[in-house]
Chains A and B, each alone.
Chain A
């Protein structure tokens, strides 16, 4: 047997599957019951560790989720007994003991309770009083089913560093009493924007990896899309939630075409459109339609609409760039940003010629916020090249190459620089 393929381990597989499918739900409920994020997480962790041994001994239970729920609750009771500093400890213990004495698990069909618990967890993990990297890590760990090690690898940091970041965030939740609840109506729009921002940041980190030698980190894209879908189930009346989900799907549909077999980046106009995932595109368009029907326009919906125009065109030439430029204009009026203006410049350049594009882009060259923004120089180079200024284009490409931290992207810029004249 030795030297052969890794033997299948059904118990390890079952635990891994339960971790991915059940952990977030069990955790969300337990946090509400014990009133302490750290303690609940520790108890859930204990339960998964116990599962490995128990399931190897007794076989995998028929309902792994129920097994984990019971085990986690018992571990929480043990931990609560030892921990004097938890608020309302006696009441919490009484309630948990009562739940434990019930013959059967409270019905998992109680969908609305599960939804509420998961929403609370979303808002706790994405609380603005936590630093952004901690929000991202907590969200991936508590809501997605990623382990600390997986998150560390996805963000290219050492596992102990990521572990410390998560521990610190959980300690702050406990010490500063970051609440475990859905924000009040007047705070909700603002806080929901913050949640969407965290999910989109996870997606972008996966889709256009800013560092490292891989252009796309699929595991982060997949996790962000899953989180986006979870949010549409939890908050179906919010148009931007649908908009973000649509946007991520429409971008992700092009994933396979963005990198060639040798790992080289492929620009949008050079992509093999037959590689685009049509199912994803249809799914994204359906979600965008659903968003638009709610009649509350927003940034993610506008960006999704732009992407929809790009993916529906038969080729780059036939893309409705004038319409895209207009949508970027609408986006800029909603949230003025030099990056949006840069995108508008590119669209204007495609719709009305390089000179028109340069008119929009050139004022941005003096913008401090974009001073080290690689895409600005890459776009400038492209427009200059098309306008016939090879010398200016070369200078701009050199600046873009200097600023690029991604090996695949840098290689593409170097190829374009070489292709000038």
Chain B
């Protein structure tokens, strides 16, 4: 067995269209349950929109913090970390410690992960009917 990461890319849309998209949530609940049952699902997480993204790059030993996601140029995604932090400041501090950031060749995009509860709430706000049991299957 080998592990594979699947990265979900999508265009960000206005709130009305996003509410439409939330309607797939019951399908995700079923899919995640069956993947988990088959022992295939290592992890799945939803991110908040790029509006809550912060980018960190280190220049001359100083962390440069900017609002917004990393603008795609020649660089490609090379890996990821998921860290448990008290708040954004702690996350940014660790991002600036990564050796590839310190060496200056990598920019670290820091994105908050949505909690299962918040994921469920977001879908519910869009009118999707879900039980509390579904949280466990969703994430």
Asked whether B89 lies within 8 Å of A172 as measured between CB atoms, the reply is: no
A229 vs B115: C-alpha distance in the bound complex, in angstroms?
Answer: 41
Residues A129 and B65 in contact in the complex (CB < 8 Å), given A171-B52, A172-B52: yes
Q: How far is the CB of A356 from chain B (nearest CB, A)?
A: 33
Asked whether A176 lies within 8 Å of B54 as measured between CB atoms, the reply is: yes
B:36-58 near A, CB below 8 Å: 48-49, 51-54
Asked whether A84 lies within 8 Å of B117 as measured between CB atoms, the reply is: yes
B:85-100 near A, CB below 8 Å: 86-89, 92
Other-chain residue from A85, A128, A175 in contact with B112 (beta carbon distance below 8 A): A175
Residues on B with beta carbons closer than 8 Å to the beta carbon of A183: 89
Asked whether A129 lies within 8 Å of B88 as measured between CB atoms, the reply is: yes
CB-CB nearest in chain A for B93: A187
B:6-30 near A, CB below 8 Å: none
Residues on B with beta carbons closer than 8 Å to the beta carbon of A128: 65-66
Asked whether B88 lies within 8 Å of A177 as measured between CB atoms, the reply is: yes
Q: How far is the CB of A36 from chain B (nearest CB, A)?
A: 13
- A81 within 8 A of partner (CB): no
Residues A176 and B89 in contact in the complex (CB < 8 Å), given A129-B65, A130-B67, A131-B67: no
A-B contact count (CB 8 A): 51
Asked whether B117 lies within 8 Å of A179 as measured between CB atoms, the reply is: no
Asked whether A179 lies within 8 Å of B121 as measured between CB atoms, the reply is: no
Which chain B residues have a beta carbon within 8 Å of chain A's beta carbons?
A: 48-49, 51-54, 65-68, 86-89, 92, 110, 112, 115, 117-118, 121
Residues on B with beta carbons closer than 8 Å to the beta carbon of A177: 86-88, 112
Q: How far is the CB of B126 from chain A (nearest CB, A)?
A: 14
A:326-382 near B, CB below 8 Å: none
- A17 within 8 A of partner (CB): no
CB-CB nearest in chain B for A186: B93
Other-chain residue from A84, A134, A176 in contact with B48 (beta carbon distance below 8 A): A176
A187 vs B53: C-alpha distance in the bound complex, in angstroms?
Answer: 21
Enumerate 22 A-B pairs (CB-CB under 8 Å) in ascending A order. A84-B121, A85-B115, A85-B118, A127-B88, A129-B54, A130-B67, A131-B68, A168-B51, A172-B51, A172-B52, A172-B67, A175-B49, A175-B52, A175-B112, A176-B52, A176-B88, A176-B110, A177-B86, A178-B87, A179-B86, A179-B87, A179-B89
A128 vs B67: C-alpha distance in the bound complex, in angstroms?
Answer: 7
Asked whether A171 lies within 8 Å of B51 as measured between CB atoms, the reply is: yes
Asked whether A85 lies within 8 Å of B121 as measured between CB atoms, the reply is: yes
A129 vs B115: C-alpha distance in the bound complex, in angstroms?
Answer: 21
The 10 closest A-B CB pairs, nearest first, are A175-B52, A179-B87, A131-B67, A129-B54, A128-B65, A176-B52, A175-B48, A177-B87, A172-B52, A176-B112
Residues on A with beta carbons closer than 8 Å to the beta carbon of B66: 128-129, 131
Q: How far is the CB of B61 from chain A (nearest CB, A)?
A: 12
CB-CB nearest in chain B for A123: B89
A290 vs B112: C-alpha distance in the bound complex, in angstroms?
Answer: 43
A:111-168 near B, CB below 8 Å: 127-131, 134, 168
Q: How far is the CB of A330 from chain B (nearest CB, A)?
A: 22
Residues A85 and B117 in contact in the complex (CB < 8 Å), given A177-B87, A177-B112: yes
Asked whether A129 lies within 8 Å of B92 as measured between CB atoms, the reply is: yes
Residues on B with beta carbons closer than 8 Å to the beta carbon of A85: 115, 117-118, 121
CB-CB nearest in chain A for B89: A179
Q: How far is the CB of B114 from chain A (nearest CB, A)?
A: 8
Residues on A with beta carbons closer than 8 Å to the beta carbon of B87: 177-179
A84 vs B112: C-alpha distance in the bound complex, in angstroms?
Answer: 18
A:20-37 near B, CB below 8 Å: none
CB-CB nearest in chain A for B92: A129
A:281-295 near B, CB below 8 Å: none
A129 vs B54: C-alpha distance in the bound complex, in angstroms?
Answer: 6
CB-CB nearest in chain B for A135: B67
CB-CB nearest in chain B for A184: B89
A128 vs B110: C-alpha distance in the bound complex, in angstroms?
Answer: 13
Q: How far is the CB of B95 from chain A (nearest CB, A)?
A: 11
A416 vs B118: C-alpha distance in the bound complex, in angstroms?
Answer: 62
Residues on A with beta carbons closer than 8 Å to the beta carbon of B67: 129-131, 134, 172
CB-CB nearest in chain B for A180: B87
Q: How far is the CB of A198 from chain B (nearest CB, A)?
A: 13
Q: How far is the CB of B83 from chain A (nearest CB, A)?
A: 13
A178 vs B87: C-alpha distance in the bound complex, in angstroms?
Answer: 6
A171 vs B117: C-alpha distance in the bound complex, in angstroms?
Answer: 17
CB-CB nearest in chain B for A174: B52
Q: How far is the CB of A172 from chain B (nearest CB, A)?
A: 5
Q: How far is the CB of B42 from chain A (nearest CB, A)?
A: 25
Residues on B with beta carbons closer than 8 Å to the beta carbon of A171: 51-52
A171 vs B50: C-alpha distance in the bound complex, in angstroms?
Answer: 11
Q: How far is the CB of A1 from chain B (nearest CB, A)?
A: 46
A:87-128 near B, CB below 8 Å: 127-128
A372 vs B115: C-alpha distance in the bound complex, in angstroms?
Answer: 47
Residues on A with beta carbons closer than 8 Å to the beta carbon of B53: 176
Residues on B with beta carbons closer than 8 Å to the beta carbon of A172: 51-52, 67
